[in-house]
Structure 1
Amino acid sequence: MGKESAEAKNIKRYHPAPDEGLSPALVQQRMIEGLNNVDCTVATRSVGRIVRDNVCTLFNLINVILAAAVLAVGSYKNCLFMGVVLCNLAIGIFQELRAKRTVDKLSLLSSVKAHVIRGGMPVEIPVDGVVLDDVLALKSGGQVVTDCVVLSGECEVNESFVTGESEPILKHPGDLLLAGSFVVSGECKARAEHVGDENYISTISKGAKQFKKVRSEIMETLKKIIRFVSVIIIPVGGLLFWGQMRLPDNSFNDAVVQTVAALIGMIPEGLMLLTSTVLAVSVIRLSSHKVLVQELYCIEALARVDTLCLDKTGTLTEGTMEVSKVISWGNYPVREAEEALRALCRALPDRNATFEAIAKKYGEKSDWKLTKAVPFSSKTKWSGASFEGKGTYVIGAGEFLFPEMAAGLKSELDRYAKEGRVLLLARSESRFRERGLPEGLKPVAFVLIQDVIRPEAEETLRYFMEQGVDVKVISGDNPLTVSQIAKRTGLKNWDQWVDLSACKTDEEVKAAAARYTVFGRVLPDQKKLLIKALKEAGHTVAMTGDGINDVLALKEADCSIAMASGSDAARNVSQLVLLNSNFDSMPRVVGEGRRSINNIQRSASLFLTKTMYATMLALLFLFIQMPYPFMPIQLTLISAVTIGIPAFILALEPNRARIEGNFLRNILMKAVPGGVTIVMNIVLTVFIGWKLDFPVEMISTICVLLTGFAGLLLILRLCMPFTQIRKILLGFLCALFAGCVVFLPELFSLVPLSGAGWALTGGLALLAAVVLNLLIWGMGKRFGKGRSVGK
């Protein structure tokens, strides 16, 4: 597609040498012509999108229509609820913009970079700096940032983001590499064939980010609530207006104001704002700990995690190793084995932690003449090279080099594996078969390598185990080696390990998932299968990783966490990136998630209480032939004092309690007692007041006092156990409500009460306190151990 397009536009194509690349002058010319790669990565929504998404909502439209209706009948003070709506709007936009700036800034630190050759020199540049015909230098773990053709070298590429096939594909000179794919092993130089929207996939990030959306109970619950209110609000509003118009003493203006009051009470306008604000604040807080949040609702997923799967390298260990010793096998000279290791380091493009350790120990200077090299593959678990006059040397996992090894060799491998990682060096006089091991391969030495444990690993694992999170270690290494590392970090059940290379079927892998703690010799597909099996067993699973072999498992996990020092592939598919590559950030992340979700859950119950009692009252007054007892200005006061202010203060408190139960059920357990109590109070007030021949204004005033009292009573229960900030909050809210009632009665359409009115108010307030506490106790006893209060 791109080549034809370039010819159609008469664009001159260049064919630079792999080691030379384009000259700076040609690069500048390409940039002027607009033939550079467009970085379409969108880390966050644009400013315009944020403003539009906050402003253009169904509830905002309904609020505007209701405000216009009230203005049309001249009841200006009853439009005060729009002030609350506008404040909510401003807060929501401000917090999201603030979070956007934070995320965008951090995204620059973890963004994919392109490595190109220009004027004979390697250069690291932003993705959008790549121009048509640039020479890209690609190596294991790197992302292919634009469609390109291999010029030299060989590599295995994972194109699952484009083709859906997870099997690595070997690429030779002349083959096309697709943007969005990742290099699994090997290295090569390739010429940029297409740029920008002429790539096989139109955007780089789209290819890298095609992972399953986070499963969010909060998001699904809020959508259900909004759908329910959206469906009933218009017909209920129409019927209620018709019913209020039919009342003999009600004017058209009265019917409009009363209907608007009923409908604005039904709208949980602050609920979505509360959720987005709390999560946005979490993003900002986590950024101070060098954690990049790439998917907002993954904070919830991590807070609910009960199983944490760790990749050993880069998580429990620093990702660096050291060679402890080389031990010969079969009297093969150790010095010859060490010289072979030196020659392999010089010949192979592999630059993983194992080869870095060997190179650090023995160097890369060798006069052995290379004839063929086979880079490391995560599938084969070995690499090797043939040398003129020296034969072929292969280094890798013993089980993969000798699937049917002799008992003596296996016994020695197992013994050394208890001390750390052990690789087998093998030799053959024959050359490599087509992508296969040479014939006559014989073991010559064991290479013992020690992982460096992260200093914070033990404390972090202890935190998760104390929190009841089941920790599992998944690695491609020998299970005995991984088990010993798990033991050194203090992991519980470190001795329950399994070698997944012995599992021949998917069913065996799934059966192992629940039974074992340490998994060794795990292939990328098996990692994904383990995560899937744990999820099918009902667990919420988080996965950490830093390599290309972790990508499939990271995509499958409920919450994926990558180290910034890892591969582009791992970072791009993960929802969280630890920018300091430090595992000890994890407890802070989980703690922040728990704070957010617990506080959203508690504060959301206040909004749902209002929606619940307003909806029930609206439905009841379709049949009660009496004026609706509230005015919009009165509900604005009640909402501000008993919902708006406390919800946002409580939502930002510290809270590290474990997440328990279903989100909807938990908020209903808190909201139902308050909603039912308020409805009971209003209905009793209306009927008793009507029997005692109270004026409509007095009935309305009593309803305001009782609803405010019940709301404050609910906040009292939610504030238990008390902290200093909760005491101050409750005192302030009581004073604010009392102050508005005493000093601003005209503004809120309140009238003085008679002696009978105060008696009714006092009696119903006492009844409300008893009923509310009985309902809370009853629901706690019926549905769970008192989770309906506080926390």
Structure 2
Amino acid sequence: MTHATDQAVGTDAVDIDVSGMTCAACARRVEKTLNHLDGVDAWVNYATERARVVGIDDPARAVAAIEAAGYGARVHDPGEGDAWSRRATEVRISSLRRRLIVSTLLTIPLMDVTIALALVPGWRFPGWDWLCVLLAVPVVGWAAWPFYVSAWRSVVQRTPSMDTLVSIGILAAFFWALATVVFGSPESAPDEWLGIGAVPDGGDALYLDVAAGVTTFQLAGRYFETRSRRRAGDVLTALKGLTPSMARIMRDGQPVSVPVEKVLVSDDVLVRPGETIPVDGVVVDGSASVDTAAMTGESVPTLVATDDAVDGGTVSTDGALRVRVTAVGANTHLAQIAAIADRAQANKSRIESLVDRVTSVFVPIVIAVALLMFVVWFVALDATATRALGVSIAVLIIACPCALGLATPTALMVGIGRGVSSGILVKGHGALEASGIIDTVVFDKTGTLTTGRISVDEVHQQGDRSALAVAAALEQSSEHPIARAVERAAEGRSDESEVAHDVRIRPGLGVTGYIDGRPAAVGSEDLMRQVGVDIDASLHEWCTARTAAGRTVIIVALDGDTLGALTLRDPVKPDAAATVADLEGMRLRTLLLTGDTEATAHSVAQELGMAEVRAGVRPAEKADAIAELRAEGRNVAMVGDGINDAAALAEADLGIAVASGTEVAMRSADLIVVRDDLAAVTEAIELSRATLRTIRVNLVWAFGYNVAAIPIAMAGLLNPLISAVAMSLSSMFVIFNSLRLQK
């Protein structure tokens, strides 16, 4: 079956917003429901809470199917973005917060009372057990309700999940305790485990705090997970602000402003200097330097003229353009990037997926074993019904996945908290899982390894007047990024200042004007030839050498003679080389992936000590490059900061966005470094690995505990009280093991 996202963007695909999903199993359940519809191919992105459906004639069928499965749904409105799903998530977060607060406030006194009074009969007072029941009812009945709803869905869909196990554990502990309060405790086995003898009459009420404690811990994990998961967001929402809402098009020979959604292929769009190009197209008139940083990561604008292609979201810095539209809406390059990122996010595996797959088998087995034990003890071993029921309940309680359910969310919460204190945000389990297997780290250049701010690197003085001062005087009228770099370099040199007049911007070439009544120019060699300035062999050789070294070169001339030349570069961050060295010290391969030229890319790589370079790579090609590396068997981390990195960040096994990055890049990343320190990339990987190791230890303990304890319970050697205590101790081990991450 062809996956929906493998088809071209702009087909009959329909996006459906889905609310109420609580885990990866829910996303698979919705996906399974949709794919059961005739002729439908669907996939569900758990992070963005959205389903993409292909091959359906009526979207209402998809909505109805999702709602029948127990979830909220509606056809996605592109104009509204993710507002609907965001509101639904906020409602869910508010509900979880209220339940968590109530559960915590009732569980703390309940645990104190039940533990003390259940084990010390002398402290009991009339009705103490019913007081415990009253404290537990709101927790087990109301606070835990979301778990029961999810568990019921799993029963209907025949896909047992973590919520199924959690619900069984909570209800088994509660109803066993309630039964002992109403009917009295069953007789104790004469050979009870640990030799504690008969449990004091009424002591089984201790299970009430087990039921309440499990509920509280699970609500806390679900609450923080839901808040964290929503931050993954929708890349399309962040991209929406990059293109203007209105476009100026030619209709019947006259310019008309229309909403960008109304622009058609083959329309002519007029773009003024400084404006953002709203759609993809081909230049049919005019020339300009176009800032393509959003699409290529290239810090120096690119010259475009007639017949050159331009992308929506890029900016014409210094010239007017007439662009014939070739793609609009979902077919634009910018939208393609968003679609690639969205697809890659949805395809990421999570630790919960493994746990859910295991529990889908584990839950039915445990239930079957508990029922079998009742029959064996009651029929084959001729035990009383109460004794047989006690063994069955002991099996259910000892098999309750409290530790299993806490293993991942507690470690994740502690890891996230530790990361925040270090300026590192971990978005979810996918980042932790990926970090443990990373062997290759791919870096974007502009804004990641470099500052992203052009500066004058070298001044080659040839004439008797300051080349820098003349260049700064001419560039004052330009909005080009190079002009700002020249102005910054000339600041504070009032003794060398010049005044220019009659300045004319030459799009893509440079600037001309007059100084002291004499013609002046600053720009490329092509501009020099156009204004009749001869470049001698020595200056030409100097410029060629700098260009080959990855520098941008501009020549300065006055009155027909060259005054010299300036080189510009995007400086490497001070800590970039040390970070690359640290990563390679961790036996990780590093690679530079950039939209810049070969010369510039190799110059930066050489300065940083990186052996592998891929230059001239466009955004969609960046994602393809990451996919190629993964196809070669590499486990790839991508570090970037720009919109052009969004798809690659999402495609990589681990996406890391640096602090200066755009909102799109951050939404696509798994880890976000929010402090101005590239060394945090190394720390982020180390923290993720430590958190993942903790989760693995927790899971091994949780599974091992169940495997070892269930046979003991089946043999009748565990009183349900001891089962509850052992289950609580197992959960405490998981919690304290997770808290070690704080150090």
With normalisation by structure 2, the TM-score equals 0.55
CA shift, 1:311, in A, is: 1.5
Which residue in 2 is equivalent to 1:583? 678
Q: Do 1:63 and 1:82's aligned partners in 2 also have CA atoms closer than 8 Å?
A: no
CA shift, 1:601, in A, is: 1.0
SS in 1 for 2:571: strand
1:567 and 2:662 equivalent?
yes
Which residue in 1 is equivalent to 2:687? 592
SS in 2 for 1:155: coil
Which residue in 1 is equivalent to 2:352? 219
Could you tell me which of 63, 80, 84 is aligned with 2:206?
80
- After superposition, the C-alpha distances for 1:410-451 in whole angstroms (9 at most, x for unaligned) are 986673257552346799xxxxxxxxxxxxxxx999642244
Which residue in 1 is equivalent to 2:33? none
Write the distance in 2 (CA, Å) between the matches of 1:114 and 1:59: 42
SS in 2 for 1:320: coil
Write the distance in 1 (CA, Å) between the matches of 2:577 and 2:717: 62
Matched to 2:408, the amino acid is: T
Q: Which structure 2 residues correspond to residues 369-448 of structure 1 after superposition, within 5 A? A: 370=504, 373=507, 383-384=508-509, 415-417=545-547, 421-423=551-553, 447-448=566-567
Q: 1:575 to 1:332 in 2, by over 3 A?
A: farther
Q: Do 1:346 and 1:365's aligned partners in 2 also have CA atoms closer than 8 Å?
A: no
Q: Do 1:106 and 1:287's aligned partners in 2 also have CA atoms closer than 8 Å?
A: no
Matched to 2:388, the amino acid is: A
CA shift, 1:275, in A, is: 0.6
Q: Which structure 2 residues correspond to residues 335-346 of structure 1 after superposition, within 5 A? A: 346=477
1:520 and 2:615 equivalent?
yes
Could you tell me which of 591, 600, 603 is aligned with 1:472?
591
Write the distance in 1 (CA, Å) between the matches of 2:540 and 2:616: 15
CA shift, 1:638, in A, is: 2.8
Write the distance in 1 (CA, Å) between the matches of 2:431 and 2:584: 21
Q: Do 1:599 and 1:652's aligned partners in 2 also have CA atoms closer than 8 Å?
A: no
1:186 and 2:302 equivalent?
no
Q: Which structure 2 residues correspond to residues 505-654 of structure 1 after superposition, within 5 A? A: 517-614=612-709, 628-641=716-729, 643-654=730-741
1:61 and 2:167 equivalent?
yes
Q: 1:268 to 1:458 in 2, by over 3 A?
A: same
Which residue in 2 is equivalent to 1:47? 93
Write the distance in 2 (CA, Å) between the matches of 1:210 and 1:629: 52
Q: Aligned Cα RMSD in Å? A: 5.3
- After superposition, the C-alpha distances for 1:80-107 in whole angstroms (9 at most, x for unaligned) are 3452342233234346656777999999
Write the distance in 2 (CA, Å) between the matches of 1:53 and 1:603: 25
- Count of aligned positions: 501
- After superposition, the C-alpha distances for 1:301-324 in whole angstroms (9 at most, x for unaligned) are 234322111112222222234213
CA shift, 1:468, in A, is: 1.1
Q: 1:229 to 1:423 in 2, by over 3 A?
A: farther
CA shift, 1:408, in A, is: 12
Write the distance in 1 (CA, Å) between the matches of 2:526 and 2:712: 71
Write the distance in 2 (CA, Å) between the matches of 1:638 and 1:36: 51
Q: Do 1:599 and 1:655's aligned partners in 2 also have CA atoms closer than 8 Å?
A: no
CA shift, 1:211, in A, is: 4.6
Which residue in 2 is equivalent to 1:258? 391
CA shift, 1:385, in A, is: 6.6
Q: 1:106 to 1:65 in 2, by over 3 A?
A: closer
Q: 1:102 to 1:247 in 2, by over 3 A?
A: closer
Matched to 1:650, the amino acid is: N
Which residue in 1 is equivalent to 2:604? 485
Matched to 2:486, the amino acid is: I
Matched to 1:647, the amino acid is: V
Could you tell me which of 236, 239, 251 is aligned with 2:372?
239
Write the distance in 2 (CA, Å) between the matches of 1:633 and 1:146: 67
1:90 and 2:216 equivalent?
yes
CA shift, 1:207, in A, is: 8.1
Q: 1:98 to 1:358 in 2, by over 3 A?
A: same
SS in 2 for 1:473: strand
Which residue in 1 is equivalent to 2:157? none
Which residue in 1 is equivalent to 2:488? 360
Q: 1:361 to 1:62 in 2, by over 3 A?
A: same
Could you tell me which of 412, 416, 420 is aligned with 1:283?
416
Write the distance in 2 (CA, Å) between the matches of 1:317 and 1:282: 29
CA shift, 1:608, in A, is: 0.4
Write the distance in 1 (CA, Å) between the matches of 2:701 and 2:82: 47
CA shift, 1:652, in A, is: 2.6
Matched to 1:601, the amino acid is: R
SS in 1 for 2:595: coil
Q: Do 2:646 and 2:665's aligned partners in 1 also have CA atoms closer than 8 Å?
A: yes
Structure 1 spans left out of the alignment, 5+ residues: 1-34, 117-126, 136-144, 160-165, 171-180, 189-198, 374-382, 399-406, 428-442, 497-516, 622-626, 657-791
Q: Do 1:88 and 1:270's aligned partners in 2 also have CA atoms closer than 8 Å?
A: no
Identity among equivalent positions (%) equals 20
Q: Do 2:341 and 2:651's aligned partners in 1 also have CA atoms closer than 8 Å?
A: no
Write the distance in 1 (CA, Å) between the matches of 2:478 and 2:451: 26
Write the distance in 1 (CA, Å) between the matches of 2:662 and 2:563: 33
Q: Do 1:184 and 1:549's aligned partners in 2 also have CA atoms closer than 8 Å?
A: no
SS in 2 for 1:246: helix
Q: Which structure 2 residues correspond to residues 769-788 of structure 1 after superposition, within 5 A? A: none
CA shift, 1:326, in A, is: 5.4
Write the distance in 2 (CA, Å) between the matches of 1:303 and 1:53: 32
Q: Do 1:547 and 1:567's aligned partners in 2 also have CA atoms closer than 8 Å?
A: yes
Structure 2 spans left out of the alignment, 5+ residues: 1-78, 100-144, 151-162, 186-201, 249-258, 264-268, 281-294, 303-310, 319-328, 492-497, 528-536
Matched to 2:93, the amino acid is: V
Which residue in 2 is equivalent to 1:763? none
Q: Do 2:173 and 2:211's aligned partners in 1 also have CA atoms closer than 8 Å?
A: no
Q: Do 2:468 and 2:486's aligned partners in 1 also have CA atoms closer than 8 Å?
A: no
CA shift, 1:248, in A, is: 4.7
Matched to 1:268, the amino acid is: P
Q: 1:259 to 1:393 in 2, by over 3 A?
A: same
- After superposition, the C-alpha distances for 1:198-240 in whole angstroms (9 at most, x for unaligned) are x999xx9998973523634522321222111123233333333
Q: 1:602 to 1:419 in 2, by over 3 A?
A: same
SS in 2 for 1:608: helix
Which residue in 2 is equivalent to 1:301? 434
Q: 1:60 to 1:261 in 2, by over 3 A?
A: same
